[in-house]
Structure 1
Amino acid sequence: MTNLFLSALKAYAPYARTTFIQKTTQPMAIQEQFLRKLLQVQQGTELGQYFGLKDIRTIEQFRQQVPIWSYADYEPYTERVALGEPNVLNPDPVVYINLTSGTTGKQKKVPVTRRFQRSLSRANAASLGFLHEAVQRHSLGRSQSLELGRLLSTNSVRVQGQTPAGIDYGPVTVGSYRLSRSVCQRVFAQPFTAMEIADAASRHYVCLLFALCNPQTRGITANFPMQILRICQYLEKFADDLVQDIATGNFAEWLTIDPTIRKTLERLRTPLPQRAQQLRRILQSEGRLTPRRAWSNLSLIGTARGGTSDFYFERFPDYFEDTPIFGGVYGTAEGTFAVCHDFNTDGSILALDSGFYEFIPQDQWEAAQPQTLLPVELKVGEFYRMLVTSYSGFYRYDIGDVVEVVGFYGQTPLIVFRHRRGGLLSSTTEKTTEFHVAQVMQMLQQEFKIGLDDFCITLSDHEFPARYRVNIELASGHTLEQPQQFLARFDDWLGEFNHPYATVRSDQVPPPQLRILAPGSFGIVRQRQLLRGTSDSQLKVLHITEDRDYLDGLQVLEVIDLSE
C-alpha cells in the first residue's frame, strides 16, 4: 500500500510542478484571479462586510479600500472565533487554530478551515514536484543515486489544547499533520502514534527507533535546522540503547510513554537482530552513529532555509556529508508563501495561488499606511516587508517578515526570509539584524575552524552607548584558542555585513565583549521556552535581543574584552 501511494505521489508531482511553472509566467493574472475568488467567498463574513469586499472589482480598489492591519487589529476577531462565533472571519467552519511560536512576542491565533488548508496544499504539491525533479537530476553522476521514500520526523502531533468552543489549537505543523494523517502514515518512517508521545526525549527516541529498523529510510525532516541537529544528538546519545532495542524488539525502560500509546506501538515491534548487528558494527568502527552511516541510502534533508539557517548548516557535513538539503516551502502559521525549487538553494518561488501578496519597500517601513508594490514591481537585491491576504480571513496582513528578492523564476520573484520586523539590535542607530550576525558567525566558524552549539548577541548593562556582548557556546569537543582574535574578527565582519555598525563603532559604540558560556547553556534557554508554552517543534533561539535578562542565570566560563 505504501509503495502504491508513493508511486502515485511521484506520478502526480511532475504535473503539480508543471502547472505551477506555467503560472509563474503570468503572476499578476494568477494573483488577480486568486484575489477575485477570495473576495467573492469572503464577502459575507462580518469583516468582509465591514471592508465592503462585495463592491471591490480591481486590485487597486482593494488596496485603497482595505487598510493594512497588524495582528493587534485582528486579535479581537480571532478571540471571537476561538469562542466559536461563526462567520466572523471565515464563512467555513474553523477546524483548527494555528498558534505562532511566540519566540519574539505574544502567540498569535490563525483560524484554519478546510478551504484555507486546500489553498496551501497547492504550494505543498508544487514543492513535491520540484523535489521529485531535483532527486532525479542530482542523481546523475553520483555513486549512490537519490530516491524519494520514507521520511523520519520527530515532530509532535499532540494538540496543545482546545478553545472554550472545542476547537483544537497548537503549532501549525501539528494541525497540518493531523489534517493529513493518512498521507503521513504512508510517508513517514515511524508510526503516527509515535509522534503522539508527550515526553520530547521519549518521542525522539521512539521515532528514531522505528526509522532505524528500516535501512531504506530516505530522508529526515524538521521545521528548523537546529531541530535536525538535535535529532543527530539524540541518535549519538542513545545509540547503544537503540541498537539493543532493535535487537530485542523491546523499548528502553527509561522511556516515558502513555500506556495506551505504548501498547499500540509494542504491537508494531519485532526483533531485528541482523539490522542491530549492522548498526553495532558501524558504532564500533566509527565510535558513534550518524544519520549518513545509519541509513546508507539517505537522499535528502528537509528543513527551513534562509534566516539564520546557514549558521546551523555549517555543522551538517559532520552528520550528513554531502546529503542535499531541500527547503520545502517558506511558510509560517499564517500561511505558505513560497515554494523551494531545488536542492541547496535559498530562493523560493512566490506561491501565487496560496495567497495574494503585497510588498512594502524600505522607504515606506515607518509609514502608518505605506504604499505597497506588487510582485512584478520588485527589484533583485532589495528588502521588503510582506503583506498577505488569504483564506485565513486576514487581509493585507503584515506578517512581520522581511524578505529579500534574489531573482525571478519566469516572471515571479524568488524570495528569501531574512529576519522578523522589529528583530533589530541597536546600540545607537545601526540596526543589526539576525541575518547580519548569522553571516558573521558562519564566517567565524570557517575562519577559526570551530563549531558553535549556538550564540546570542546582547547589549551591555549600565552604559550608553552600550557595547555588544557576543555570547557563544562551543560545540562539544571544540575549543577557542584565540578568543581575542575571534572577537576582533567579529568586530570586522559585522562592519562588513552591516555598514552602519562600522560607522558607529568608529566613534560612538564601545568595543564588543566575548562571553564563553558553559556547555548546555542554550539547552537551558530552550527549556525556558518550553516552560513558557512554546512547542518543541517551534523552538528557536534568539540570535539578537535587547532583552538584557534573556541569558540571565547562565554560567559564563570566560569573559574577553577587545583591547583597542
Structure 2
Amino acid sequence: MSQSSHLNKSLDDEMHKVLEDLTSNVKQIQDDLLEEILTHNANTEYLKRFLHGRSGKELFKKNVPIVTYVDVEPYIERVANGEPSDIISAQPITKFAFRYVFCSGTSGGKMKLLPFNVKYLENVEFISNVRSFVISRHIDGADQGKAIRFAFIKMESTTPSGLPAAPASTIVLKTAYFRNLASKSYTSPNEIILCRDNKQSMYCHLLCGLVRREEVVSVSAAFASALVRAISFLEEYWKELCGNIRMGHVSEWIEDTSCRNCVSEILGGPNPELANLIEKECNQISWGGIICRLWPKTKFVECVITGQMTHYIPTLEFYSNKLPIVSMKYFSSETSIGINLNPLCKPQDVSYTFMPKMAYFEFLLVDEANEVKIVDLVDVNLGCYYEPLVTSYTGLYRYRLGDVLQVSGFYNNAPQFRFVRRNDVALSVDIETTTEEELLKAVANARMVLDSSDLMLTNFTWYADISTIPGHYVGYWELKAKNKNTILDLDKKLMAECCYVLEETFGSIYRAYRSKNGLIGALEIRVVLPGTFDSLMNFFISEGASLVQYKTPICMRSSNALAILEDKVFARFFSDKPPPFDF
C-alpha cells in the first residue's frame, strides 16, 4: 500500500470514529453544546431578558420563547446598523447571510438578514468532510477525478454599519477552505466560480467541463434546479461552445479577464477532434442520457433533490440515463444540519441524519389537533412529524426553521429525518388547505399521464385564482418534447386528464368543495412558452435572489412574477369532471 493510501485509510478511520461517536453520544453532545452556548451568551441583551445571567437548560426551556424571523428582526437590524454584536451574540458577528424570501404583493420578495460568524464556517467544513467520507465509502473511484460543479456567487452588499452581507453560499465559496477544495476537486478554476456575472460563469463552467471531460466523475450543483438550468443552457449554447473548442479561443462576450485567461489556458489551443465528438452527441434527436454521453466516466449526479426539488427527478434521470442522484447535505442559512449516510438510496427515500454538534435542536410536534409539544433531538418518535427549532452560536435561540420533517429512522442514537415540506407553503381558495407535499404529489401523479406522450414537464408553479367565482387552482406548466425535433403538440384530452389527476390527488376538503358544493372551480393548467421559467428566475435574481440558492416558488404570490407568467401563456386546459368524493 502506498504512503498516500495509508494516509487516506488513516483519515477514513478517524472520520469513521468521529461519526460513530457523534451519533452514539447524541444526548451528551447536545446538552454540552446548549450549556456552552448559554454560558457564552447568557449576558447578551436578548438572553438576559429571559435568563437573567443564568444558563440552565430547564430555565432556558421555560423562559426563552420560540421565535420566527419577525420576532428577532429588530435585534438583527440593530447589529446591522452598527450596535455591538453582544445584543444577540457574545461571539462577534462578522457578516450577515441574506436570504431572499418570496412573498405576496407587487414586489418579488424581501431579504432576511441572518447573523454569520466563524462557527458557521467551521460547521460547514465539518459537514463537507463528512460528505466526502461517506461518498468515498459508497461510490468506488468518486475521489479519483473531478466534479463539474455549477457554483456561482452573488455580489456582496454592506449593511449600514459596513458589515458584508451576501448569500451564505457566496460567503462559503469565498473562504480559503473552499477555494482550496475547488482547485483540487472541480473542473472549473476559482476565477470562474467567483465571477460576478452568472451567465459568463455558467458558460465557462461548461467550457472547462467539456474540455476536461475525461476527468469528470460527477456532475453537481447545490440544488437540482441549477443542474437542470445548466443542461438547458448547454442546449442553447453547445454550438458556440464547440466553436470555442475547435478554434481554441473563448467567445468575445466573455469579458471577465480572469475567466478569459484561465479558460484560455485550459483550452490550450484548437481541438477539432473534441469539438466534433461533442457536436455529434449534442446534434442527436434526443438529449436522453446526455450527461453520460458527454462525460462518460460520470458515476453520480449530486444536488439537493428533496422537498420542492423532487419534481426535477424525472428530468435529471432522463438527462443522466438514471445515474444515481445523490442528495448529501441538509443545510440552511441559519445553520448546517445533517448528512445523508445512505447516498445511493432512491432520491424519493433520502433521509438526513442530524449532526448533534451543529446546533442545539428541539422539535415542535406538528399535530393536527394543535397539541403543543416540544422535545429534544433524542426524544423524537419514529414516524412523527416535527418542525425543528435551532439554538446556535450565531445568536439564534429557539428559532423556527419552518421545515416540516418526518422521523424516518435512526443511525445509532441520531435521528434521521425525511424532508416533507415547508410549513408556510400552501394553496387555498376557501377553507381548504393544500400543502406543498400534496401539490408535489399531485404533479408526480400527473407526470405519469404525460409518460404516454412525448412531453416532459420541466417546471411549474401554482396560483390560487380568486378573481373568478368560484375561485380555482391554476398550475403554470412549462413543457418540452423529449425529441427535440418534435413540434410541441398539446392533446386536449391528455391535458384534461392531467387536470383531473391533479384534483383527484388533493385532500378530502378540496374534493368535497369541488364535487359536492361547487365552492371551488375546475382546476386549470396554463401552459407557458419555453424559457418562461428562466425569465421568472432572472426576475427574482434581479430582485436579490441568488442563482445558487434559487428555487422556483411552489406557490406564486408576487403580482410582478405572475405578470411574467401570464404574458407567456399560450394554452389553457381545464378539468372536465369533478374528482371522486366518498360521502
1:52-78 Cα shifts (integer Å, max 9, x gaps): 2752223x3321121111111211222
User: What is the match of residue 505 of structure 2?
Assistant: 496
Structure 1 residue 112 displacement after superposition: 1.5
CA shift in 2, pair 1:336/1:498, >3 Å? farther
User: What is the match of residue 469 of structure 1?
Assistant: 474
Amino acid corresponding to residue 177 of structure 1 in structure 2? L
Following the alignment from structure 1 to structure 2, what is the Cα–Cα distance between the partners of residues 310 and 488?
A: 22
User: What is the match of residue 166 of structure 2?
Assistant: 170
Q: Which moved more, 1:357-366 or 1:316-325?
A: 357-366
Asked if 2 retains the 8 angstrom alpha-carbon contact of 1:458 and 1:547, the reply is no
User: What is the match of residue 538 of structure 2?
Assistant: 527
1:204 aligned to 2:202?
Answer: yes
Following the alignment from structure 1 to structure 2, what is the Cα–Cα distance between the partners of residues 485 and 32?
A: 56
CA shift in 2, pair 1:364/1:82, >3 Å? farther
Alignment RMSD, CA only? 2.9
User: What is the match of residue 188 of structure 1?
Assistant: 186
User: What is the match of residue 294 of structure 1?
Assistant: 294
Instruction: List aligned pairs for 1:110-509, cutoff 5 A.
Output: 110-136=114-140, 147-179=143-175, 180=177, 181-214=179-212, 215-255=214-254, 257-259=255-257, 261-263=259-261, 265-267=263-265, 269-271=267-269, 273=271, 274-283=273-282, 290-341=290-341, 342-343=343-344, 344=346, 345-363=349-367, 370-449=372-451, 450-476=455-481, 477=484, 479=488, 481-496=490-505, 498-507=507-516, 508-509=519-520
Amino acid corresponding to residue 313 of structure 2 in structure 1? F
Asked if 2 retains the 8 angstrom alpha-carbon contact of 1:249 and 1:272, the reply is yes
How many correspondences in the alignment?
A: 550
Asked if 1 retains the 8 angstrom alpha-carbon contact of 2:305 and 2:312, the reply is no
User: What is the match of residue 541 of structure 1?
Assistant: 552
Amino acid corresponding to residue 525 of structure 1 in structure 2? L
TM-score by length of 1: 0.89
CA shift in 2, pair 1:371/1:61, >3 Å? farther
Asked if 2 retains the 8 angstrom alpha-carbon contact of 1:444 and 1:486, the reply is no
Matched residue SS, 1:402: strand
User: What is the match of residue 68 of structure 2?
Assistant: 70
Amino acid corresponding to residue 301 of structure 1 in structure 2? V
Structure 2 gaps, min length 5: 104-108, 578-583
User: What is the match of residue 569 of structure 2?
Assistant: 556
Asked if 2 retains the 8 angstrom alpha-carbon contact of 1:39 and 1:54, the reply is no
Structure 1 residue 438 displacement after superposition: 1.5
Structure 1 residue 264 displacement after superposition: 5.3
CA shift in 2, pair 1:494/1:275, >3 Å? same
Amino acid corresponding to residue 309 of structure 2 in structure 1? S
Amino acid corresponding to residue 551 of structure 2 in structure 1? K
Amino acid corresponding to residue 99 of structure 1 in structure 2? F
CA shift in 2, pair 1:286/1:9, >3 Å? farther
1:517 aligned to 2:528?
Answer: yes
Asked if 2 retains the 8 angstrom alpha-carbon contact of 1:39 and 1:53, the reply is no
Matched residue SS, 1:212: helix
CA shift in 2, pair 1:555/1:405, >3 Å? same
Asked if 1 retains the 8 angstrom alpha-carbon contact of 2:218 and 2:301, the reply is yes
Following the alignment from structure 2 to structure 1, what is the Cα–Cα distance between the partners of residues 504 and 128?
A: 39
Structure 1 residue 242 displacement after superposition: 1.8
Structure 1 residue 537 displacement after superposition: 1.6
Matched residue SS, 1:373: strand
Structure 1 residue 440 displacement after superposition: 1.6
Following the alignment from structure 1 to structure 2, what is the Cα–Cα distance between the partners of residues 219 and 11?
A: 25
Amino acid corresponding to residue 452 of structure 1 in structure 2? L
Structure 1 gaps, min length 5: 137-144
Asked if 2 retains the 8 angstrom alpha-carbon contact of 1:218 and 1:299, the reply is yes
1:127-176 Cα shifts (integer Å, max 9, x gaps): 2222121213xxxxxxxx65553222232234321223332221111111
CA shift in 2, pair 1:120/1:500, >3 Å? farther
Matched residue SS, 2:534: helix
Matched residue SS, 1:101: strand
Following the alignment from structure 1 to structure 2, what is the Cα–Cα distance between the partners of residues 122 and 378?
A: 24
1:368-427 Cα shifts (integer Å, max 9, x gaps): xx4312223323333222211111110100122222222222232221222222211112
Amino acid corresponding to residue 87 of structure 2 in structure 1? V
Amino acid corresponding to residue 102 of structure 1 in structure 2? V
User: What is the match of residue 580 of structure 2?
Assistant: none
TM-score by length of 2: 0.86
Following the alignment from structure 2 to structure 1, what is the Cα–Cα distance between the partners of residues 144 and 506?
A: 38
User: What is the match of residue 90 of structure 1?
Assistant: 89
Q: Which moved more, 1:431-440 or 1:117-126?
A: 117-126
Matched residue SS, 2:260: helix
Structure 1 residue 488 displacement after superposition: 4.1
Matched residue SS, 1:384: strand
